[in-house]
Structure 1
Amino acid sequence: MGLIAYIKSLFIVQLLVGFVFVVSGLIINFIQLCTCVLWPIDRQLYRKINTRLSYSLWSQLVMLLEWWSGTECTIFADQATVDKFGKEHVIIILNHNYEIDFLCGWTMCERYGVLGASKVLAKYELLKVPLIGWTWYFLEIVFCKRKWEEDRDTVFKGLAQLKDYPEFMWFLLYCEGTRFTPKKHEISMEVAESKGLPKLKYHLLPRTKGFTTTLSCLKGTVSAVYDVTLNFRDKKVPTLHGIVSGKKYMADMNIKRYPVEEIPEDEKECATWLHKLYQQKDALQEHYEKEGSFPGPTIKPPRRLWTLLNFLFWATLLLTPLLNFACGVFVSGSPLLIVGFLIFCIIASIAVRRLISVSEVNKTGSTYGKMEGKKEN
């Protein structure tokens, strides 16, 4: 293990990185709260400010992927598709197999200038998560409880509100609803068999209601649907903890663009279209399993310095007084201050661990991934 890799693996170093993320996030959330006075006066100005504030927070996580762990992302797509990245409102359909698939998606958002305006149809439980849920609230993220009777009005209202969003946005949908596991796959294929649908080998049966509703509500705003299939080379299963520890992964993303004009407007026909799309994704995954790569041309968009500079700004702002205080505490030798500082470190450690575990939210207690799928599609 080299010196740099050893330093990255140290818990105290990871704790300091987490400290910067947590405290800067709380500061950003407070500033976002203050911007609420702009909402009734100038909604578009409010949105532009919050887009940049959210970028300042999310880009710290992207920095961990790009600069800290050195993970590389390769795009498999034609040049005509890549030329449109960051220049239109789109819906992103992404497979949900890994802890860090969202982070790879954010990396592409950052490299094409849409990270701050990225959207998602999120679980209502995430609204209660500090930093992540709070930042999403100010970004007008649509939260749902996964019960259509309760979500109908909220989802329609939230999506309709985004129709005039001033920044180009990528709206992420996990149509499978929850992260892939063998058990969930078994249950999902039982549902597919009961509905007479073709079985999938590498994906769960897509939940069509969220997709058809989002596409219908954002019609006239979004111009395309990007189908994204993500894999990692050498059959590695990356984790957020691995990223924080500085482990490097090689990500491959196959992206295909579908203009909205090619997607049926009728809800049933649109649902059928989505099922066919997932059959194609399954075939594409089969190809990757056999060949170790996606077909087609490759593009490696260069990483930008902004994520690193943003983190260094927050690290300098927050760690300098912290380290000065820590030095003063131990130089003074005051038992009360030392105990207080150690308690603070323990609490901060727990907070960082908690934030890392948020990525597990889809693994436990997910009603969306259970047999509720029998009632809808």
Structure 2
Amino acid sequence: MLTAIVYLQALKFALPAITMLGVSPCFMMIWGTWRSVSAVLPTRWYHAVDDIMYSNYQRLIVFFYEHYTGVEVLLYGDVDMLNKKENVIYISNHQSTIDWIVCDFLSIRQGSLGHLRYVLKDGLKYFPLYGFYLGMHGGVYVKRSGQFQEKKFIRKLNRYSKYNIPLWLVIFPEGTRYNPNLPIVIQKSQGFAYMRGYTVLNQVLTPRVKATAGSLKILRQHIDAIYDITIAYEWKNDNYVRRAGPDMT
């Protein structure tokens, strides 16, 4: 009996995973119908309805991650920003596959859940269903370093201002996730900072600035604020030894 309980506990992620993935084809069918109908309508109409649909799907995700799992979210700093809707650029450290869900936790409290749009690694656009949809929702796919396509990036961001699209533009400037179990990645990042005369960082990776700087320049007249977020996950022992961030399961 004890063994069965342990296995069931380990598989508790199955219900939310099956639910969230199971409803995605239906979501895509409904979205596809709206996308076809809205092709002859003003662009802002498409985004208004699309934001509502996206918000409803993300609410399902928030329910599982914040209520089903019993996660406690503690906020420190300028939490007054949750009392008003703003167009923002959201920059954050990156250490886990659930860092993007923390964006959900914050934006839902401001009533801006449907306005989340991400700057994403180019390879993620090939992820089944989600990769294509996030691009259509307003996400921006970018390539790293020397392959950064600035003109394409500018053209995409200009759409937000042109059509007055409500916006939480989420950027993880570090790109690669910080993982203390991968010291080579950390050392490479620190070496990059040292060679360029930047401050050598120990708890986060050195940010790459092209996407962030470009967003600030292009969206200067469209955004109301910059949210500078640092995410910290609870320590699991008394020695305060840095561990890898939790994964989605």
> TM-score of the superposition, structure 1-length normalised?
0.57
Cα displacement (A) at 1:148: 5.0
1:72 aligns with 2:72: yes
Query: Counterpart of 1:124 in structure 2: which amino acid?
Result: D
**Does the 8 Å contact 1:175/1:210 carry over to 2?**
yes
Cα displacement (A) at 1:101: 1.6
Bigger Rg, which one: 1
- CA distance in 1: counterparts of 2:75 and 2:149, whole angstroms: 35
Larger deviation: 48-57 or 209-218? 48-57
From 66, 73, 96, give the equivalent of 1:98. 96
Cα displacement (A) at 1:70: 0.9
Residue of structure 1 in register with 2:41 after alignment: 41
- Secondary structure (helix, strand or coil) at the match of 1:27 reads helix
In structure 2, relative to structure 1, the CA distance for the partners of 1:176 and 1:150 (3 Å cut) is closer
Task: Give a deviation string over 1:283-308, Cα, whole Å, max 9, x none.
Answer: xxxxxxxxxxxxxxxxxxxxxxxxxx
Residue of structure 2 in register with 1:83 after alignment: 83
What root-mean-square deviation, in Å, do the aligned CA atoms of Structure 1 and Structure 2 show? 2.5
1:134 aligns with 2:142: no
In structure 2, relative to structure 1, the CA distance for the partners of 1:48 and 1:184 (3 Å cut) is same
In structure 2, relative to structure 1, the CA distance for the partners of 1:168 and 1:82 (3 Å cut) is same
Residue of structure 1 in register with 2:154 after alignment: 156
In structure 2, relative to structure 1, the CA distance for the partners of 1:159 and 1:9 (3 Å cut) is same
**Does the 8 Å contact 1:127/1:143 carry over to 2?**
yes
Cα displacement (A) at 1:23: 2.7
Cα displacement (A) at 1:14: 4.3
- CA distance in 1: counterparts of 2:34 and 2:79, whole angstroms: 39
Cα displacement (A) at 1:131: 3.3
Query: Counterpart of 1:197 in structure 2: which amino acid?
Result: Y
- CA distance in 1: counterparts of 2:40 and 2:141, whole angstroms: 22
**Does the 8 Å contact 1:122/1:143 carry over to 2?**
yes
- CA distance in 2: counterparts of 1:82 and 1:36, whole angstroms: 31
**Does the 8 Å contact 2:88/2:226 carry over to 1?**
yes
- Secondary structure (helix, strand or coil) at the match of 1:234 reads coil
In structure 2, relative to structure 1, the CA distance for the partners of 1:152 and 1:128 (3 Å cut) is same
Residue of structure 2 in register with 1:247 after alignment: none
**Does the 8 Å contact 1:159/1:217 carry over to 2?**
yes
Task: Give a deviation string over 1:178-233, Cα, whole Å, max 9, x none.
Answer: 10133211001111111122211111111111111011111211121111011122
Cα displacement (A) at 1:80: 4.2
Q: Which has the higher helix share?
A: 1
5+ residue gaps, structure 1: 242-377
**Does the 8 Å contact 2:16/2:64 carry over to 1?**
no
In structure 2, relative to structure 1, the CA distance for the partners of 1:131 and 1:79 (3 Å cut) is same
Residue of structure 2 in register with 1:213 after alignment: 214
Sequence identity (%)? 23
Q: Within 5 A, what are the aligned runs for 1:20-59?
A: 20-37=19-36, 38-59=38-59
- CA distance in 1: counterparts of 2:29 and 2:61, whole angstroms: 19
- CA distance in 1: counterparts of 2:32 and 2:94, whole angstroms: 32
Cα displacement (A) at 1:6: 6.8
Residue of structure 2 in register with 1:224 after alignment: 225
In structure 2, relative to structure 1, the CA distance for the partners of 1:238 and 1:15 (3 Å cut) is closer
1:239 aligns with 2:247: yes
5+ residue gaps, structure 2: 237-242
- Secondary structure (helix, strand or coil) at the match of 1:20 reads helix
Task: Give a deviation string over 1:153-195, Cα, whole Å, max 9, x none.
Answer: 2211111111145563211111111101332110011111111
Cα displacement (A) at 1:41: 1.9
Task: Give a deviation string over 1:285-342, Cα, whole Å, max 9, x none.
Answer: xxxxxxxxxxxxxxxxxxxxxxxxxxxxxxxxxxxxxxxxxxxxxxxxxxxxxxxxxx
- Secondary structure (helix, strand or coil) at the match of 1:57 reads helix
